[in-house]
Amino acid sequence: MIKAETVEQFYILKWLEVNFVTELLEIKLVDRYTVKIKDADNKIASVTYAGKDNIILTEE
């Protein structure tokens, strides 16, 4: 698993471990608050930290 560079990314990566059951092919750190993911179906999404217990998943 990729290592977080910020506390916000750490929370996103922990959230992905708990909530994302599909195998992820790619995880890319974008900025302090955002991580991009790609799953086995080649779907891409942005995962954004928006505060404690508030993670936003946006499909692209």
In a domain, 2, yes or no: no
Per the structure, the count of domains in the chain is 1
Mean pLDDT, residues 7-22: 89
CA torsion sign, 56 to 17 to 4 to 25? negative
In a domain, 1, yes or no: no
CA torsion sign, 41 to 44 to 30 to 53? negative
In a domain, 53, yes or no: yes
Q: How confident is the model at residue 34 (pLDDT cuts 50, 70, 90)?
A: very high
In a domain, 31, yes or no: yes
In a domain, 52, yes or no: yes
Residue range(s) defining the domain that contains residue 35: 7-59
C-alpha span between 41 and 29 (Å, rounded): 20
For residues 12 and 49, is the Cβ–Cβ distance under 8 A?
Answer: yes
| pLDDT at residue 58 in the model | 96
